[in-house]
Amino acid sequence: MHLPFQKSSEDMGKSEEGYELKINGEEEDYTGYTASGGLVLNHNNFLLIKRRNPNEWRIPKGHIEPGETPAQAAVREIGEETGYKDLVVIANLGTQFNRFKRNGEMVRRTEHCFLLHLKKFESSKDYFLVRRRSPQATEDSEIYEAAWVPYLEAVDRLTFEVEKEFARRAQTELANSGWTAPQPAVDNPNQTRA
């Protein structure tokens, strides 16, 4: 299925290498890495993960492997964390830089995020077949629980501001594209849609 706002592969971004962290003009020691992930669109829901300990709602993402583009890493990481592997990137939601302290060490993470959908969508009927499917168990299932969340609730549900911003960008991308959530198919012609 081609969505009206689907972008070409050239728009999907390339891996960024290296950066320098300065705070108040002073360099600071830090560990840095680049991550990529995304928001998977399904009907009117986004696929999020809930981390069990600590209790956090997140966008599925992880490290970019050598030789991977951010878009390839996003598809792989979402598959590893949720079990959904048959994905299509439809929009690049950009890059943000996140700085935080972990175990007493400063970390700077470059984060790429994409809007995706399940490749199985060949018709509007498929939206509803897939919508009923639950996320698959993965080796990360003990750490994360994948869940479909109404896309308009994603910003409020997500724990961290960087990820909330990516959800806002996805919502804006959808609104600007003219996308509307598909309506359930009507089985009986005399029956109206809810």
- Is residue 186 included in any domain, yes or no? no
- Is residue 78 included in any domain, yes or no? yes
- Is residue 190 included in any domain, yes or no? no
| Whole-angstrom distance, CA of residue 79 vs CA of residue 72 | 11
Q: What domain range includes position 143? A: 22-177
Render pLDDT for 34-92 as a digit per residue (tens, 0 to 9): 899 999 998 889 999 998 777 899 999 999 999 999 999 999 999 999 989 889 999 99
Residue 9 confidence (pLDDT)? 39
The CATH number assigned to the domain holding 86 equals 3.90.79.10
More confident residue, 100 or 91: 91
| CB-based contacts of 11-15 (< 8 A; 24+ apart in sequence) | 11/91, 11/92, 12/69, 12/70, 12/71, 12/89, 12/92, 12/114, 13/69, 13/70, 13/71, 13/92, 13/95, 13/112, 14/69, 14/70, 15/64, 15/68, 15/69, 15/70
Cβ atoms within 10 A of the Cβ of 175, count?
10
CA-CA-CA-CA torsion for 85, 87, 84, 61, nearest 10 degrees?
90
Kind of pairing, strands 144-150 and 61-63? unpaired
pTM over 0.95? The answer is no
| Domain count for the chain | 1
- Is residue 56 included in any domain, yes or no? yes
Residue 150 reports pLDDT greater than 70 = yes
- Is residue 157 included in any domain, yes or no? yes
Residue 112 confidence (pLDDT)? 96
- Is residue 47 included in any domain, yes or no? yes
- Is residue 156 included in any domain, yes or no? yes
Name the residue among 25, 18, 146 with its Cα closest to residue 82: 146
- Is residue 12 included in any domain, yes or no? no
